[in-house]
Amino acid sequence: MNNPQKSVTETILHQIDTGALSPGDIIDEDALIETLGISRTPLREALIKLEAHGLILRQPRKGAYVFRPTIEEFLGILEIHAGLEGQAAGLAARRLSAASGKALEAAVAACKAHSDTKGDRDPNGYYQLNMTFHSAIVEAAGNRFLTDLVKSNARKLMAYYRARYQYKGTIATSAQEHADIAQLILDRQSAEAETAMQTHVQFGHITAMDLLTALS
């Protein structure tokens, strides 16, 4: 293994991205050491790096666990994330290439097809399509530093966005909002696209409390 620390980091991030690790879950350090065939040193280094990014926390005698925000922390992170996603949509509207436009249209079509054929069924499947849609916009923005910031903040909220699609009618609403945002980007309406995206990614205070409770 060329870079054990990187391997640990990527494994934990993948588990967060896929929902294998949820907010508050303890990270099984012994299992990682055995599965990846590494020593405790690169594991510790990876955990320190992830803690610096705010994705995990470490406590004496408890070990490392996935960051689980309070309602105040959740709303604060969400406020920042909405601004970043909005900025990405605004930049995408100004910088959209032909290839990025096709990728965006394909992502919108996939979300609509899921909504039309499955309705509220398979929320986890829809969540993956949702990620593709948002990634297409961030990539179209053409700013790798913004991309890194969006990804880092999104990982702190992923479990809650995933849980959001368990609610009746949420998938249909999301798919329609995706289509509306994409059209604004395709029409080069930068300010309107930014505002629409900010609204799209926000939660109401009550919804946020419900999701935090459901995942506690």
Whole-model pTM: value is 0.86
Structure tokens at 171: 């998938």
Q: Topology of 4-66 in CATH? A: Arc Repressor Mutant, subunit A (1.10.10)
Residue 118 pLDDT grade (very low, low, confident, very high; cuts 50, 70, 90): very high
The neighbouring-strand residues paired with 65 are: 26, 57
Q: Which residue has the tokens 């999701």?
A: 211
Q: Topology of 71-214 in CATH? A: Four Helix Bundle (Hemerythrin (Met), subunit A) (1.20.120)
Give per-residue pLDDT as tens, 139-195: 999 999 999 999 989 999 888 888 889 889 999 999 999 999 999 999 999 999 999
46 vs 4, 10, 39, 154, CA distance in Å? Answer: 9, 9, 12, 19
Give per-residue pLDDT as tens, 73-116: 888 999 999 999 999 999 999 999 999 999 999 999 999 999 99
Q: Is 71-214 in the same CATH topology as 4-66?
A: no
- Cα–Cα distance for residue pair 19/14, rounded to 1 Å: 8
Provide the residue ranges of all domains of the chain, joining segments of one domain with +.
4-66, 71-214
